[in-house]
Structure formats: structure tokens, C-alpha cells
Amino acid sequence: MADKFSWITEGIEELKAHNLYSAVPTVTSPSGAVMTINDHEVINLCSNDYLGLANHEGLKRKAIAALEERGVGPGATRRGTGTSDIHVAFEKTIAEFKGAEAALGFQSGFMANLTVITSFMGKDDAIFSDELNHASIIDGCRLSGARNVRYKHNDMEDLRRVIGETQGYRRGMIVTDGVFSMDGDIAPLPDIVEIAEAHNLISMVDDAHGEGVLGRSGRGLVDHFDLIGRIDLEIGTMSKAFGVMGGYLAADKRLVEWVTQRGRGFTFSTGITPADAAASLGAVELLMESGELVEKLWSNTRYFQGALKDLGFNTGRTVTPITPVILGEEGLTHQFASELMTLGIGTLPIIYPVVAKGQSRLRVMLSAALSNELMNRGISAFEQVGRRLGVIG
Ligand SMILES: *Cc1c(COP(=O)(O)O)cnc(C)c1O
């Protein structure tokens, strides 16, 4: 019988032939400054655990207590019997942290985007979306059936142009990543808010890489720009700086209520576990108590990025702890990553189709968990491999 999946075998071979294949590494340690990845102990410059909270003792205690008291799973969807008082407390606290009236939790940031966009936008509507927005925003826009109008990355003139050229829609929305995770640059939110207000458009920002990083004590990009109350829909994730799992919407009560009624990812899919909710609540409380970890993250960022630039690496346009080391060619990028790995340094190669061809890079993620000694070992490995491969002089 003919193999009906031979196209997959060919597809995988094709990816490998073009250096576009990315293996999935296996981790056998907790997330932390040093991790065991594929049985190698490496300095972790490759996770989104910005504040080192993924293995935080206090948060683990809270998760364990919730697990002991409430069990391993919620047993039903959030609209059924799956909403515990821990979920409610988390949502109340994250709303307060973000300066919003209300919040609603989801299983992930990805699910939050799919659910929220499709709750507000339908086939008669138009969405103005940055061309470099996260995959989950793009998929949410597609799924909504709305007209999907892309504008050039962070280009406000182009945004104004496409809004002017788009006619005959019922409702409109501007949606953007807050921090763009491939380059570490940020959206010009003050301009976006102004444009949205001028055209009576819904404004939506996904702050996945901004919260825990930017703003007062990590309150995120909206706080950073002093725009609290002026973004209609704010999406976040608990899986990055907060170190746990889950996503959320922070917005006015009326808008949150709408998603509890119309959001398909809320209605038809079970929420996070009580343990996840308890750890998430604890992570937000931790940042409300102290900005110390956020400050440490930034001092590590200045130190590491400064050293890479001094060595002559191209770190692009980052203004956040996301540190692209742009190498260009896919093969070179894979080789650089694997030589760093041999030296005990874990970085993430980012290649086409995640970024444009010829724009491949290693992504270094800084964390408050890193000591100076570990960062110095990372920097000298970059220097050694960079010289050997002719990337720096
Ligand atoms: C990581 C990320 C997400 C997805 O968050 P998860 O909680 O991992 O699903 C969504 N949006 C942006 C901008 C992200 O960087």
C-alpha cells in the first residue's frame, strides 16, 4: 500500500537539508541558572524564566499546598465546577497588579490570544496587526474570520495608511505584541493608543515578554509608558517571568464578562490546575512586595549585553533582556549554538521560518538567576566561538 505520509518523510528531509530542522531538547533538571539539557549541564541562557521563579521555593510550597488541598486537576471547565477560589484570588490579584478592573485566566498565553480575539472580532470586522506579531495573535486573527490587515513592524505611518485605506467594516481593532520576542524591541504604545482613540478602534496588547520585566516592579509595558486604563485588552502569560503556566486577559469588567460568556477557549476547555493557580498568585504577590528581582534582571542585562557589544557582536535593536546575536546564515547559527553547547552554554538558535531567511540568530535570554561568574563564563564562550567561526575579529 502506498505510504500516505511519504510527504512528511520528504518534508523532514528537506528541512534537514536546509538547516531548518530544530530538534526538541530534553531537560532533566528544574529550570534555573544551570540546567541539564540533553544530559549536558549548561548555563541557561535560553529560557524565559526571567526572574528565576520557575523553581522558587516559596512558590513550590504554595503549589504543593494547593495540590494537597484541592487535588491534581480542576475536574471541569471554568464555567462548570472548575473555578476554585484560588483561580478567583489569582485573577483579582493579577488585575490589581496590572491596574485593571478585572482579569480572566486561561490555560496559556496562546489560548488567551485565540479566545480573546475571537470573542471580540468576527467576519464583518477588521484587525490591524503588526507584521511581526506572535503566532498566537496571527492565528487568533485568522480564526476570528475578520479582515486581517497587516502593517509594517512598529511603523505608525504605515498603520495610519492601512487604517485610512480600509473601509466598510463594523468594528476595528489594533493588536500588537508589547515586546517582540525575536528582536527584543517594543511597540510604540503611546502612538498606538492615540491612533486607536482617534479612530475609535479597540486596542489590544500582548505583554508576554513585558510583564515581570518592564514597568514598576515588572507591571509591564502599559505601566512603563504610563498608559494604565487606556489599552482596552491586555493579554499576559504566567509562563515567562512569572515562572508558572497559564495566560490571562486584564481589562474592564464588562469586557472580561463578555469573554466568560463568548470565549470558546474559556467555555469549552478546562482551566489551569489549582496548583498552577496558587503558584501564579504567589508569583504576582512576590512582585507586588518587591522589585528586587526585576532590578537584578536589568543589571544582569546591562552587563551581558554590554560585554557582547564590546566584543563586536550584533545584538540588533533590543531594549529588553531578550538579546539576539544576529549571525545571518542558518548553518552558521546551528554550528555556533552547538559549539556553545559543547562549552556548557545553552542558547536558542532561531532560524527561518521564525525569522526571515538570512536573519538567523542565537537568542540569549538574561535572568535574575544568573551570577556574575556564570555570565562571565557565557561571555568568554561567545568570544571563543565567535573568533573561531570568524564572526568577530
Ligand atoms: C510566549 C508568548 C505567548 C504564548 O504564551 P504561552 O503562555 O507560552 O502560551 C503569547 N504571546 C507572546 C507575545 C509570547 O511571547
Half-sphere exposure of 324 (CA within 13 A, CB side): 20
Q: Considering only 19-33, 86-100, 254-268, 369-383, which range has the smallest mean pLDDT? A: 19-33
Strands 102-106 and 172-177, by their bridges, are: unpaired
**Class of domain 23-50+291-388 as given by CATH:** alpha beta
pLDDT category, 67, cuts 50, 70, 90?
very high
Instruction: Determine the pLDDT at residue 356.
Output: 87
Could you identify the atom of ligand 1 that is nearest to the CA of residue 180?
Answer: 13
| Residue 192: Cβ within 10 Å count | 26
Cell triple for residue 6? 511519504
- Pocket flag, ligand 1, residue 320 (CB < 6 Å): no
Average pLDDT over residues 332-352: 94
Tell me how far apart the terminal alpha carbons of the chain are, to the nearest angstrom.
57
Average pLDDT over residues 187-200: 98
Q: Return mean pLDDT, the chain.
A: 97
Can you tell me the distance from the alpha carbon of 252 to that of 245, in angstroms, rounded to the nearest whole number? 23
Cα 156 off chain centre by: 23
CATH number for the domain formed by residue range(s) 57-289: 3.40.640.10
Domain residue ranges in the chain:
23-50+291-388, 57-289
- Pocket flag, ligand 1, residue 247 (CB < 6 Å): yes
Q: Is the pLDDT of residue 323 over 90?
A: yes
- Pocket flag, ligand 1, residue 181 (CB < 6 Å): yes
Q: Considering only 16-30, 103-117, 211-225, 331-345, which range has the smallest mean pLDDT? A: 16-30
Q: Is the pLDDT of residue 248 over 90?
A: yes
pLDDT category, 22, cuts 50, 70, 90?
confident
CA of 384 from ligand 1 middle (Å) equals: 33
Q: Ligand 1, residues 240, 248, 363, 365: which to mutate, most atoms within 8 A of Cβ?
A: 240
- pTM score, two decimals? 0.96
pLDDT category, 207, cuts 50, 70, 90?
very high
- Pocket flag, ligand 1, residue 178 (CB < 6 Å): no
- Supply the residues annotated as catalytic: 181, 209, 240
Q: Is the pLDDT of residue 354 over 90?
A: no
148-181 per-position pLDDT tens digit: 999 999 999 999 999 999 999 999 999 999 999 9
73-102 per-position pLDDT tens digit: 999 999 999 999 999 999 999 999 999 999
